[in-house]
Amino acid sequence: MKATELAQGVYWVGAIDWNLRDYHGYTLPGTTYNAYLVVGEEKTTLIDTCYPGFEDQVLGRVASVIDPKKIDVIIANHIEVDHSGGLPKIAKMLPGVPIYCTEVAVKGFARHYNTKDWNLKVVKTGETLDLGKKTLVFLEAPMLHWPDSMFTYLAEEKILFPNDAFGQHVASSERFDDELGKDVALGHAKKFFANLIIPLAPKVLKKLGEVGDLGIGIRMIAPSHGVIWRSYAADIVTSYVEWSKGVSKDKVTIVYDTMHGSTDMMAKALADGAMDGGLEVKVCLLKDGRYEGCHRSDIVAEMLDSKALLVGSPTLEDEVLPTVAGFLSYLRGLRPGRLAEKKVGFAFGSHGGHGGAVDQIAGDMKKAGIEVIDGSMEVYFRPDADEREACYRAGLALAERVKRV
Ligand code: FEO
């Protein structure tokens, strides 16, 4: 097991989790827990650790550079277990080693681990740590991803270690963006942003502004998941700005589930109208026990750059189908209304009694910050030819509306 050198004296020493397929409801093709070793003339520091059970990978890669017992300092950018899970073992191996983190992280660590013997050192924005011809600068970044988070910047090499920000959930043998490929790396970053960062979008813009105000150059971005941005650092920053603003295409994402095919017929007619009206269309039947379908974590990545979202469900026992209810719960949590450019949409579905699902969906879409526009429709049992035509026309009208924005 070898470390990967990013710059003179700076190494990736992380762990690859090839087998992880679900991380609190986010489907992923494995991931990496990136840790970094920075070797200064006087001190050597380890930035972040890994999920519990992956310590041997981290320590093995450190050992390809130096004896792990020679680590002088640990930087803990974030307390979430995928980055701090290795700390108990490594802190025990290095008694008294200073662990630099934010004040909130000190409280968080105490709720996760027995920190009685940990030498935690609180740092604030602008404070520095001199490693000997290598200087680390700390920047608190609350809510990117949790209240405790911070970024660390290596001034001489202009490398930013922003932990979760700019990360991607992907397991690969490639360590750099240009090795994985720009579009593939940005695609994984987009899904990561859609599933984890949307509700934090205003903070992203503020933090990027603060980083800009510091006047620091960034040559490389080394996040805590996925590949390191060395060729496309500017591209991922630009993408984060655009995603945070909600910059979207003339595109609609249609998400639904169906009981006996009626809501499916409505979805297809809506899609035909939107396509004929000139929109890019993604049709996403929700994954459940019967259909392969689409997973909600992929659907929200499609939604991120869509100007419109349509959600459909038949009424089941006066409620939306559980699959759709699950999606709506996820959507409310992500709050796409926090993106600067708002999305529009409406609800649709069939029923065999007195209906109700469509109003519930529209209510949840509003709670998520989506502007519900004219077009919602609920049909009795199967949509007849006139109702299918009405769906088609609603798709056309949506296209007209979206293309005007
Ligand atoms: Fe990758 Fe917030 O943890």
Strands 15-17 and 36-39: unpaired
User: Do 239 and 260 fall within a single domain?
Assistant: no
Confidence category of residue 404, pLDDT binned at 50, 70, 90 = confident
Position 264 in a domain: yes
Overall average pLDDT of the 150-171 stretch? 96
User: Do 178 and 205 fall within a single domain?
Assistant: yes
149 CA closest ligand 1 atom index: 2
Distance separating alpha carbons of residues 162 and 139, to the nearest angstrom: 9
pLDDT greater than 80 at residue 213: no
Number of folded domains that form the chain: 2
Strand ordering across the sheet containing 128-130: 128-130, 135-140, 150-154, 159-161, 220-221
User: Do 93 and 235 fall within a single domain?
Assistant: yes
User: Do 240 and 278 fall within a single domain?
Assistant: no
Position 90 in a domain: yes
User: Do 211 and 322 fall within a single domain?
Assistant: no
245 CB-near residues (< 8 Å, 6+ apart): 201, 205, 339, 340, 341
Position 40 in a domain: yes
Give the length of the chain.
405
Model pLDDT for residues 391-402, shown as the tens digit of each residue: 999 999 999 999
Query: Roughly what angle, to the nearest 10 degrees, separates helices 262-276 and 385-404?
Result: 40
Task: Answer left, alpha or beta for residue 14, where phi above 0 means left and psi between -120 and 50 means alpha.
Answer: beta
User: Do 166 and 311 fall within a single domain?
Assistant: no
Output the CA 359–ligand 1 centroid distance in Å.
Answer: 35
What integer pLDDT is reported at residue 178 of this predicted model? 98
Question: What's the CATH code of the domain at 152?
Answer: 3.60.15.10
Confidence category of residue 211, pLDDT binned at 50, 70, 90 = confident
Single out the residue in 244, 276, 297 at which a domain terminates.
244
Answer positive or negative: Cα dihedral of 164, 326, 338, 108.
negative
Of all protein residues, whose CA lies closest to atom 1 belonging to ligand 1? 164
pLDDT greater than 80 at residue 300: yes
User: Do 124 and 189 fall within a single domain?
Assistant: yes
Q: Which domain holds residue 262?
A: 252-400
Q: Average pLDDT over the chain, rounded to whole?
A: 96
346 CB-near residues (< 8 Å, 6+ apart): 310, 362, 365, 372, 373, 374, 375, 376, 377, 394, 398
Which is higher by pLDDT, 43 or 202?
Answer: 43
Confidence category of residue 145, pLDDT binned at 50, 70, 90 = confident
Q: Quick check: 268 and 276 in contact, CB under 8 A?
A: no
pLDDT greater than 80 at residue 214: no
User: Do 265 and 204 fall within a single domain?
Assistant: no
User: Do 230 and 121 fall within a single domain?
Assistant: yes
Position 350 in a domain: yes
pLDDT greater than 90 at residue 240: yes
Model pLDDT for residues 88-125, shown as the tens digit of each residue: 999 999 999 999 999 999 999 999 999 999 999 999 99
Output the CA 61–ligand 1 centroid distance in Å.
Answer: 21
Single out the residue in 225, 244, 263 at which a domain terminates.
244
What integer pLDDT is reported at residue 193 of this predicted model? 97
pLDDT greater than 90 at residue 25: no
Q: Quick check: 259 and 321 in contact, CB under 8 A?
A: yes
Output the CA 309–ligand 1 centroid distance in Å.
Answer: 28
Position 405 in a domain: no
Confidence category of residue 226, pLDDT binned at 50, 70, 90 = very high
Residue identified by tokens 């609609």 is: 252
Q: Quick check: 11 and 61 in contact, CB under 8 A?
A: yes
User: Do 302 and 174 fall within a single domain?
Assistant: no
pLDDT greater than 90 at residue 287: no
What integer pLDDT is reported at residue 354 of this predicted model? 87
pLDDT greater than 90 at residue 209: no
81 CA closest ligand 1 atom index: 3
Position 274 in a domain: yes
What integer pLDDT is reported at residue 13 of this predicted model? 98
Of all protein residues, whose CA lies closest to atom 3 belonging to ligand 1? 80
pLDDT greater than 90 at residue 315: yes
Model pLDDT for residues 338-369, shown as the tens digit of each residue: 999 999 999 999 999 989 999 999 999 999 99
Residue identified by tokens 């469900």 is: 313
pLDDT greater than 90 at residue 374: yes
User: Do 178 and 256 fall within a single domain?
Assistant: no
Question: What's the CATH code of the domain at 271?
Answer: 3.40.50.360
What integer pLDDT is reported at residue 69 of this predicted model? 97
DSSP string, 224-274: SSS-BBSSSHHHHHHHHHHHHHT--EEEEEEEE--SSSHHHHHHHHHHHHH
Single out the residue in 244, 270, 285 at which a domain terminates.
244
Instruction: Tell me which residues have their CB closer than 6 angstroms to ligand 1.
Output: 78, 80, 82-83, 145-146, 164, 224-225
User: Do 164 and 275 fall within a single domain?
Assistant: no
Question: In Å, what is the CA distance from 379 to each residue of 172, 358, 405?
Answer: 47, 10, 29
- CA-wise closest residue to 146 among 96, 99, 111, 95: 111
State percent of the chain over pLDDT 70. Answer: 100
* pTM of the predicted model as reported, rounded to 2 decimal places: 0.95
Q: Quick check: 180 and 232 in contact, CB under 8 A?
A: no
